[in-house]
Amino acid sequence: MKGELSKKPRHLIQVVGRRTGISSDVIRAWERRYNAVISQRTETNRRLYTDDDIEKLTLLKRAINAGRRIGDIAKLSYDDLFELVMGDESNTTRSYQRPSTGTVMELFDEAASAIDSMDSNRLDVALSNAVAMLSTTDFLMEFLKPLHTYINDECSRGSLRYVQEKFSKISIRNCLSNLYTKFRSSKEEGPKIIIGS
């Protein structure tokens, strides 16, 4: 009976969001882009999810917090995903958490991917896009702070090489310098800020 109930679509997306801690926008994006879960529809076209969907989404969030990318893990079976999460959580020493909100998460993943592939031009574009799309506070606290911690953690673990750390921090420093110059020119007589990396 319990097994049948777990596969019955009965949870609206708002309920799923509360149970998993994942925003409705992100759930929709994961479903639309990656088929991470497949909802059923009510007669009024509202999404319904199963208990199994909630469990998978919870595991996906834990995997992302451990450093995985949604595109790499979305289509894994429940058992494979569970095994992956257990391995990550038992061995991880990371102190950063990948952003879990849609836009910031995508910007973070693009920047991290550019660093992994040693593509400085792509990283510069990713940083510029983040500056353009986010408020200054969100850019610094929700995007740049986790990215900086990610770089330090991955270097400590040996996943990133010194040259990757060096070029990425140069790009970040240049981005911050440009941001400061822009802020200073727009508020010449206003309060001053000091930014370092």
The CATH number of residue 122's host domain is 1.10.1240.10
In the chain, how many domains are there? 2
Within a domain: residue 108? yes
| pLDDT, tens digit, 9 for 90 and up, residues 162-178 | 888 899 999 999 999 88
Give one word for 86, left, alpha or beta, with left for phi > 0 and alpha for psi -120 to 50.
Answer: alpha
Cα(41)–Cα(48) distance, rounded to whole angstroms?
6
**Domain carrying residue 48:** 2-91
Share of the chain above pLDDT 70, in %: 82
Q: What is the DSSP string of 71-137?
A: HHHTTS-HHHHHHHHHHHHHH---------SHHHHHHHHHHHHHHHTT-HHHHHHHHHHHHHHS-HH
> Residues 74, 152: one domain?
no
Share of the chain above pLDDT 90, in %: 49
| pTM for this model (two decimals) | 0.49
> Residues 29, 107: one domain?
no
Q: Give pLDDT, residue 95.
A: 52
Mean pLDDT of 133-158: 86
Show which of 91, 119, 146 is a domain's final residue. Answer: 91
Output the six-digit token pair for 28: 């929709």
> Residues 87, 106: one domain?
no
Mean pLDDT of 93-103: 64
Show which of 41, 62, 91 is a domain's final residue. Answer: 91
> Residues 72, 120: one domain?
no
Mean pLDDT of 88-116: 77
**Predicted confidence (pLDDT) at residue 194 exceeds the cutoff of 90:** no
| pLDDT, tens digit, 9 for 90 and up, residues 29-63 | 999 999 999 999 999 999 999 999 999 999 999 88
> Residues 157, 107: one domain?
yes
Tokens 């850019």, residue?
A: 139
The CATH number of residue 32's host domain is 1.10.1660.10
Within a domain: residue 96? no
Q: What is the DSSP string of 3-44?
A: HHHHTS--EEHHHHHHHH---HHHHHHHHHHH-SS--EE-TT
Q: Give pLDDT, residue 179.
A: 85
Mean pLDDT of 95-115: 80
Cα(42)–Cα(14) distance, rounded to whole angstroms?
14
Q: Give pLDDT, residue 1.
A: 43
Within a domain: residue 194? no
Cβ neighbours of residue 48 closer than 8 Å, sequence gap 6 or more: 9, 10, 11, 12, 39, 40, 41, 42
> Residues 76, 116: one domain?
no
